A and B are shown apart, each in its own frame.
Chain A
Amino acid sequence: MASTDTAPSVHEAQVPDSASVEAGLDALEAVQTQGTPLSEVLRTKALPPLIALLLVLALWQGAFALELTSSYKLPSPGMVWSSLVDLWQAGTLFSIVWTSVWRGVAGFLAAVAIGTPIGLLVARVKPVRTAVGPILAGLQSLPSVAWVPAAVIWLGINNSMMYAVILLGAVPSVANGLVSGIDQVPPLFLRAGRTLGATGLANARHILLPGALPGYLAGLKQGWAFSWRSLMAAELVAASPDLGLGLGRYLENQRESADMSGVLLGIILILIVGMAIDLLLFAPIERRVLRNRGLLTTNR
């Protein structure tokens, strides 16, 4: 090309000027990110929930002290605490929690393994979406405890029935999360992927799935919540000596023996397990994913 033969030498002369302006612009416009000091994190993130918790305990203790109702119906926080200590000393606390957590986690992982391919199919195959999509979305609003009687008749009172209820509760959430995650991948990324030559499997692996990750994570989180809820419902309803003592069963046992402190302890333990998985497992992953993508604006 005639004109480009001479062009490079001319450009060389121009380089220093434009390059230095560019360097200046880069320095001026680069986004500064800095970590928040730990003390600040503790003060802004840990303190408020702690205060709220103390407030609830104080109100509870106050209601007990005022004798609003009989202590049979409303035991004090201290009485619930001693129920916990009893369980601990009897050596059954860990096994009760573990029985349920293990079931819940195993059921949840199975729900992920089943829900993910279903989600991919529904998101990417038009006829499947038209056929299954509405049912999948509708299933989310069906309380999974409704499945318990059916599962008992189909499978009997055993672990399979527990897992069936968990799956029926959690699979739609996981699948729906992936579907909405994929739907939310900006079309621009898909075009960019095609321009780069990503088709078929490469497109799914490098563009579609990473792009859908935030929505998928939200679906997983909800899937866990549904797994846990379904399991507790199943454990409450289904009683059999073969099943082992989980949290739901413990709760129901304490009700049968009219032990309100035990019932409250059961509720609190179920709440703590559900929250702990969310806070210790999902929250850090989600934060990391969002921060990497610049979607977390904590420093503003």
Chain B
Amino acid sequence: MSPALTTSEDALDDGALAGSPAVRISHVHKSFGRAGAATHVLDDITLDVAPGEFVTLLGASGCGKSTLLNLVAGLDKPSSGTIEVPGGRPSLMFQEHALFPWLTAGKNIELALRLNGVPRPERRAEAERLLELVRLGGSYGKRVHELSGGMRQRVAMARALAQGSSVLLMDEPFAALDAITRDVLHDEITRIWAAQKLTVLFVTHNVREAVRLAQRVVLLSSRPGRVAREWQIDLPQPRRIESAGVADLSIEITEELRGEIRRHGKH
């Protein structure tokens, strides 16, 4: 936790936080370009995610939320500060499914298992089990282009789980889907998160989605990205995105987000 910025007392009372965090981001800065003309993207981000916690990172464009996720995934290095993921390389899901079109759904998962060191005889059964988990049993031999958008993201989810990490990073994974499919996938990720005891760091610009899914919503300001505020979401799961509780909190958070965006209009 970054004590100075936490608005909810509950977060500090959570028993799970007593152990070491699953993701520890401390004083991370990130800028692109040469010194002098550098763009400052992330400014002193400090954030801990507890094991088994579901956190959404919320922010307008330019807040560097995807950059932060790339840093946690190890695809890029922070300019200063440290990021620790004690459980090893986390899994990452993108807005695009990023499934390899030259492999079937099942083989995509098996490639992740193989690169994760799972021995060959076990791969097939494990891939089938993961497909079953995302309710796509029987789709093992399907080509990527034969699957609908929602099915592709579920295969991508299964492939991410095949990496064997308990930390799952999600970069707006449902942004390109239609509302009905997205709704169903919200149910899916909530179910799988609980069943697999995952730690999820989920990036989105959709306030309702953030509230629907998370135990904790972290709002980032834009240019440079800073942790602006946090909310602990105590609404019981399963939630519905159209429920009054989600809507009320969404209004509050949207106001805050708008305030953050408005600051950039002033000179």
Q: Which residues in A have some Cβ–Cβ distance to B below 8 Å?
A: 1-4, 7-8, 10-11, 14-15, 18-19, 21-23, 25-26, 29-31, 33, 188-189, 191-192, 194-198, 202, 206-207, 210-211, 213, 289, 292-295
Residue of B nearest to A19 (CB): B135
- Given contacts A8-B194, A196-B115, A198-B115, A294 and B238 within 8 Å (CB-CB): no
Shortest beta-carbon distance, A188 to chain B, in Å?
5
Contact residues in B for A189 (Cβ distance below 8 Å): 98, 100
Chain B residues near A10: list those with CB within 8 A: 236-238
**CB < 8 Å neighbour of B184 from A25, A188, A194, A295:** A25
Taking CB atoms, residues of chain A closer than 8 Å to B101 are 292-295
Contact A293 B98, beta carbon cutoff 8 Å: no
Question: Are B89 and A197 neighbours in the complex by a CB distance under 8 Å?
Answer: yes
Which residue of A has the minimal Cβ distance to B160? A195
Partner pick for B115 among A31, A188, A197, A294, CB 8 A cutoff: A197
B195 to chain A, nearest CB (A): 6
Residues of A within 8 A of B181 (CB): 25, 29
Contact A197 B163, beta carbon cutoff 8 Å? yes
Given known pairs A30-B147, A30-B151, A211-B102, the reply for A22 and B184 (CB within 8 Å) is yes
Q: Is B245 an interface residue (CB 8 A)?
A: no
1/0 contact trace for B60-78 toward A, CB 8 Å? 0000000000000101000
Q: How many residues of B contact A (CB 8 A)?
A: 51
> Which chain B residues have a beta carbon within 8 Å of chain A's beta carbons?
14-16, 50-53, 73, 75, 89, 91-92, 94, 96, 98, 100-103, 111-112, 115-116, 135-136, 143-151, 159, 163, 180-181, 184, 187-188, 190-191, 193-195, 197, 215, 236-238
Residues of chain A lying within 8 A (CB to CB) of residue B144: 293-294
Q: A11-B237, A191-B94 are in contact. Are A210 and B100 (CB under 8 A)?
A: yes
Distance between B52 CB and nearest chain A CB, rounded to angstroms: 4
For the complex, give the distance between the alpha carbons of A220 and B15 in Å. Answer: 62
Q: Could you say which of B98, B102, B150 contacts A188, with CB atoms under 8 Å apart? A: B98
Beta-carbon nearest neighbor of A209 in chain B: B102
In the complex, chain B residues whose CB is within 8 Å of the CB of A211: 100, 102
> Is A196 a contact of B237 with CB atoms below 8 Å?
no
Task: State whether A7 touches B148 (Cβ < 8 A).
Answer: no
Contact status of A196 and B163, CB under 8 A, knowing A292-B101, A292-B143? yes
